Amino acid sequence: MGTPATLSLETLPAFTNEPYTDFSAPENRRAMQEALGRVRQQFGREYELWIGGARLKTEEKFESRNPSRPSEVVGIHQKATPTLAGMAVESALSFFPEWSRFPVEVRAEMLLRAASILRRRKLEFDAWVVYEAGKTWPEAEADVSEAIDFCEYYAREALRYGAPRPMLATPGEKNELVYIPLGVGVIISPWNFPLAILTGMTTAALVTGNTVVIKPSSDTPTIAAKFCEVLLEAGFPERSFAFVTGSGSVVGDALVLHPKTRFICFTGSKEVGLRINELAAKLQPGQIWIKRVIAEMGGKDAIIVDAEADLERAVEGVLVSAFGYQGQKCSACSRAIVDRSIYDEFLERLKARTETLTVGPADDPANFMGPVINENARRSILGYIDIGSKEGRLVTGCGSVPGEGYFLKPVIIADVEPKARIFQEEIFGPVLAVTPARDFDHALELANDSEYGLTGAVFTRNPEKIRKARERFFVGNLYFNRKCTGAMVGAHPFGGFNMSGTDSKAGGPDYLLQFLQAKAICERMA
């Protein structure tokens, strides 16, 4: 538990984002193909729970599958019970006093080692994300790079918060403010950023001195199991975290309701996030605190295309935002609001560009889009396409795609009214609603007509309209003349308003405060 003598903000280089691998280079393409081959050889392996530093199995199992080829079993996992969930919380709690006293420099050093390990195993993790989450090569690369960024950024932020803050001097007193960890946290991570968001939430909690119970999505538990390997290799103590897989309604509820759970960090749907918030608010026997909930719950994100926009750039920005990773990002553009004077031309250009997109297995680098995550998701999206076809005009898409996987063509539905379901409800798939606006003020009114408030973008060359949007476009992440996806750690702190969550701003300078509490200390001098 010795402190690395040289580790400090002064000795660390300034944070920079992890560069993306250039897959157009032949040597990188070969290396990625080799990584895919190595990972495929591990398909069907069984992964255990991790509780109290021990591996455990259960009688009931479940499988994670490759959404590009659902007949392929990626991993076999344990169905934990509420009893095991309780054991996980208790084991993490028992180690919390010891872990919380580790010097912040030691915890930060572990996190920097985790970043180094992820960097060394980058293409391997890319391959796991391709196979289990259905992300194409560039999308998987961005996911893994963001995980590395979180490790590097939060290590530095922990050092910043770890130093006592001198306060106003009062006569005869020494005053300071210190930040201390909360306790045991539950990390409930999503399938759509199965490594990046899992890594960000988990490492933020650990580096600030909390212990955690990791409960990943049942669609991508293998990636989470592999991440736990990284934590152990990086030196995180065996009892500093637990890994529990299984049903959200069974295991997740038990973890949230446990009286010793101090906080819940969640990313997922609005419905589940609201349920967690409600459960966490109920005082349990033996509970002595108000549980903290850090939630990111989705969006219905809009891009405004103004009459004074660079139309080519706007088309590309909407296309990538709407159909990147099959529209399965909480930040994805699902509403394009276009000035009436350029509406027809925009639609024509967008339709032509969309129809060039290739759809197929995510491990084939020729494909721009892979599968949606599972059959339930595909069925739900098809239902929305049917609804949208009645609410508006189907411009393109809605055709079958050959192959075993859960593939869908990108869909554009035009002339959508603001009260239409596909204008208001989160679809989480490659479905874009396009609506005309009378003018820029009307476009802003339409963009804000949502219970969500996560991301948004505006394409315009007019500085006055940019000023107006900065003040009146009500979202947590607002972009001008670029896509509304792809927030970068350290540059675009991420989180939204209203039903998009608690606006916790992941990857920003305030995020670690979610996992800390402030203690003011006054010492009367002799």
**Catalytic residue annotation:** 296, 330
CA 100, 190, 118 angle in degrees (round to 5)?
60
Helix (H) or strand (E) holding 319: helix 311-323
DSSP 21: P
Compute, in degrees rounded to 10, the torsion defined by CA atoms 352, 355, 357, 360: 180
Helices and strands per DSSP (H, E), number in the chain: 15, 22
- Using CA of residue 227, residue 135, residue 188, residue 43, what is the dihedral sign? negative
The rounded distance, in Å, linking the Cα atoms of 385 and 164 is 55
The rounded distance, in Å, linking the Cα atoms of 488 and 146 is 7
| CB of 263 closer than 8 Å to CB of 295 | no
Burial 357-387 (b: 16+ CB within 10 A, else e): eebbbbbebebbbbbbbbeebbeebbebbeb
3-state secondary structure of 489: coil
| CB of 161 closer than 8 Å to CB of 516 | yes
Residues ≥6 apart with Cβ < 8 Å to 316: 353
| CB of 482 closer than 8 Å to CB of 309 | no
DSSP string, 344-400: HHHHHHHHHHHTT--BS-TTSTT-SB---S-HHHHHHHHHHHHHHHHHSEEEE----
DSSP 48: -
DSSP 436: E
The rounded distance, in Å, linking the Cα atoms of 332 and 470 is 20
Q: Which two tokens stand for residue 219?
A: 């669609």
DSSP string, 235-266: T--TTSEEE--S-IIIIIHHHHH-TTEEEEEE
Exposed/middle/buried for 418, CB within 10 Å: 0-12, 13-18, 19+?
A: middle
Q: Residues for the chain: how many in total?
A: 526
| CB of 345 closer than 8 Å to CB of 311 | yes
Other Cβ atoms closer than 10 A to 178: 15
